[in-house]
Amino acid sequence: MTKIFALKGKIQNYAWGGKQYIPDLLGITPESKPYAEYWLGAHVNAPSIVTSENGSVNLNEFLNENLEEGLGVKVTNTFGRLPFLFKVLDVNDMLSIQVHPTKVEAEKGFKLENELGIPLTAPHRNYKDDNHKPEIMVALSEFWLLHGFLTEEKLSKVLSSTPEFMQLLPVFKEDGYLGLYRAVMEQTEEETINVLKPLIERILPLYNKGKLSKSDPAYWAAKAIESSNDSSIDKGIYSIYFFNIVKVEKGEAVFQDAGIPHAYLEGQNMELMANSDNVLRGGLTPKHVDVPELLKHVAFEATVPNIIRGESQPDGLERIYKSPAPDFELSQIKLLDSNVYNSCSSSAQIVIVIEGEVELSDKKGTTLNLAKGESGLILANCDYSIVTSSKAILYKATAPNV
């Protein structure tokens, strides 16, 4: 059986996306709409297309025809499906503040909402499936994000040095992270306006004059207001001040586990996550925000951001970005014309070429030529090699040895 196939992903035109990066990567002419994400995976909402001897078929259907042959015995027994979803993201306007549930909580929440008869497409639905959604991202450019609560010392300093927030300092001192976050998230719209309107009036002129740096929460708060079409003031502005603002350089990674509140702010990245669409939102979005449910899942503790630079492998060609997630493993492969990358897949893998052109071939003589933006599917138990005639950069998604 052939084990190497061409794979074509699906574009998602979410409003926060950029206009140029993904079209340039894929070699397509952009239309007048945003290009936010490019999905490579078997998620039922947007399955990739496999080109096989029998024509084109959705990846989820293709794998379901022979799970063990495609995924490998261990992955089939553990997950019963492709356990990950691979994406390219182009973040122009900041994403919603969000947190992901644990696997146990996702199963409970999904079951309960099903029993309540809430349609999967309902805007107030919290759980779209029964899976957790840990995720890792590797920056393809300078990338900015919010990631977890500031340390107690830093957050106290922010509250005491921001005039509009000084009244919140005693709340934080007395009731900690949970008390502070609950206090602002449970505010009435009028209370939120009373606090945040003076802040916005103070920082917007500075933003418009280019006097704020990206390491300053005021920069992102002002940008959020400028890019919003909503006349009300979003409570997510608080989180911009409460969370770590993290700058990630090209080739560096950050892992988001269950419970860590986060939001992507700006830049391009490769993202690899468990095969799920479960998101509990905390602001910077017109979508449903279920505050009581959100509060159940946030890790109310200080987070010191961990920038992952990856582990270089013995071949000197591959760099693996390790994470505690059992569902996936992300790596970068850099090749020059004298290099040969050799590997054997223990489970299904997806590769995408970010720069250059490569030739992917297996030991049985099947060859697949991939240009920039093109992707390949490698089934389990396949000995394969990748070469280039110049230089190339690829990213690979696989399931770790479970």
Question: Comparing C-alpha atoms, which of 56, 9, 5, 58 is closest to residue 36?
Answer: 9
As separate numbers, helices (DSSP H) first and strands (DSSP E) second, the chain gives 11, 23
Question: Comparing C-alpha atoms, which of 219, 199, 198, 197 is closest to residue 208?
Answer: 219
Asked if 270 contacts 84 with a C-beta cutoff of 8 angstroms, the reply is: no
Output DSSP code: residue 103. H
Question: How many whole angstroms separate alpha carbon 325 and alpha carbon 328?
Answer: 6
Question: How many whole angstroms separate alpha carbon 122 and alpha carbon 289?
Answer: 13
Distance, CA of 374 to chain centre:
20
Torsion of CA 253, 257, 262, 266, to 10 degrees: 20
CB count in 10 Å sphere of residue 190: 7
Here the tokens at position 399 are: 């399931």
In 163-261, beta strands by DSSP E:
243-248, 253-256
Question: How many whole angstroms separate alpha carbon 87 and alpha carbon 14?
Answer: 14
- What is the set of active-site residues? 281
Residue with tokens 């004298």: 338
CB count in 10 Å sphere of residue 124: 11
The residues, ordered by sequence, that sit 6+ positions from 74 with a Cβ below 8 Å of its Cβ are 346, 347, 401, 402
Question: How many whole angstroms separate alpha carbon 142 and alpha carbon 331?
Answer: 18
